[in-house]
Amino acid sequence: MKMNVSGLLPNPPTGGILENIQSYLKNSGIPSYRFQQLVYSLQRGCLNFEDAKELPKPVRDQLISQFGATPIPLTIIESHSSKQVQKVLFETKSKAKIETVLSHYQTGWTSMCISSQCGCGLGCTFCATAAMGLMRNLTADEICAQVFHPHWQQKLPDSIAFMGMGEALANPNIFTAIEAFTTKGYGGLSQRRITVSTVGFAPNLERMVQEYPNVTITLSVHSPFSKQRAELIPLEKKFSLVDNLTVLDKYVKTFNRKVYLAYLLIKNLNDTNEHLNALVELVKSQYRPELYHISVIRYNNAFGANPAYQQPSIESVSKFVEQLQSQGIHASRRTQFGSGIEAACGQLHAQYEQKNKKRQ
């Protein structure tokens, strides 16, 4: 999808730098069409105020002295491409590093996996990002800039997934970012093309399904047993799987929308028949089980994750999926691109840090 450059941004998302620039120009007595010219330049890939040649030089200089050289809050410090995946390690103005991954599917579809936090404080024991701890929530501008950055040459992805670094629902700024992604003349994406993945931050899950009922939700299950799930996802102790499924069941009832449950399959840990049967029971006990879809993900050895966790074979993942299907559950194996170039959540950052340590 090409960025919408014809319908210039009439109302920038609140709380972001564009809104600040707009009010600054207004308060400085500069006509409003100058703001639209700036947005037009940015949408055409302009990176710095200096290059926004539609604006007169004194206005550009004023903006530079007020906001710095660029309104774009991210710079690229690493980028790698394979046939199907482009991955970028961005750095924020405060030197925090975050990952963004663009996947190209055979059908021509593109999907961008974006980060919501720098690091993460939730401590899931299978995850590379957890080892970093939480540095901070990303601002709405930083979340948006991953998608709108000139690096992507003015092309928006067909879909956006909050599946990069961080627990998306632990950062309230994602609501502002989703507003921007779905605002006509800005992102212009339909809510249905946005996926929010969560390990179960129940209060903001409730807010999300109420305010953006057409956003696609993926809830990480990873074990149907509370004690074991808490070992994998410590947030279980605060907001349990049951609490989250209660929110989703109400949502399914009200909006008739499909919900995705992610199941990370780890060899000899959560791949037994007992797990399978309990997972089936869990789904069947929901109000509309046919609206739940289980995406089974093959565990990928991650830097910083519990070293005891082992990757299952592709065959055992397929078998797990088939067994779920044979018991009437909608299930599939999630296609993972990019593990070969460390594109899974947190791994690109971890690899960068390791490389830098070696250099020092």
147 binds ligand SF4 (CB under 6 A): no
Contact between 97 and 89 (Cβ < 8 Å): yes
124 binds ligand SF4 (CB under 6 A): yes
Closest CA to 204 of 159, 241, 230, 239: 239
- Annotated catalytic residue, options 46, 124, 144, 345: 345
Q: Nearer to ligand SF4 by C-beta: 183 or 195?
A: 195
Closest CA to 281 of 233, 205, 221, 237: 221
Interacting residues with ligand SF4 between 341 and 360 (CB under 6 A): 345
86 binds ligand SF4 (CB under 6 A): no
The number of residues that bind ligand SF4 (CB under 6 A) is: 12
21 binds ligand SF4 (CB under 6 A): no
What's the rounded Cα separation, in Å, for the pair 103 and 82? 10
- Annotated catalytic residue, options 46, 99, 124, 142: 99
120 binds ligand SF4 (CB under 6 A): yes
Concerning whether 144 is annotated as a catalytic residue, the answer is no
Other CB atoms within 10 Å distance of the CB of residue 151: 19
What's the rounded Cα separation, in Å, for the pair 38 and 21? 10
Whole-number Cα distances in Å, 24 to 35, 72, 176: 10, 17, 20
Say what the alpha-carbon torsion angle 129, 130, 132, 138 is, to the nearest 10 degrees.
70
200 binds ligand SF4 (CB under 6 A): no
What's the rounded Cα separation, in Å, for the pair 218 and 168? 11
Concerning whether 179 is annotated as a catalytic residue, the answer is no
Report helix, strand or coil for 74.
Answer: strand
131 binds ligand SF4 (CB under 6 A): no
Identify which range of 94-102, 159-167, 184-192, 206-214 contacts ligand SF4 by CB under 6 A: 159-167
Q: Which of 129, 159, 182, 286 binds ligand SF4 (CB under 6 A)?
A: 129
Q: Which residue has the tokens 């930083």?
A: 142
Contact between 141 and 73 (Cβ < 8 Å): yes
Q: Nearer to ligand SF4 by C-beta: 120 or 178?
A: 120
Report the nearest approach of ligand SF4 to the CB of residue 145 (Å).
20
Report the nearest approach of ligand SF4 to the CB of residue 120 (Å).
3
12 binds ligand SF4 (CB under 6 A): no
Report the nearest approach of ligand SF4 to the CB of residue 100 (Å).
14
Q: What type of residue is 46?
A: C
Give the rounded distance of the alpha carbon of 200 from its chain centre. Answer: 15
Interacting residues with ligand SF4 between 170 and 199 (CB under 6 A): 199
Q: Which residues are identified as catalytic?
A: 99, 345
Which residues lie near ligand SF4 (CB under 6 A)?
120, 122-124, 127, 129-130, 165-167, 199, 345
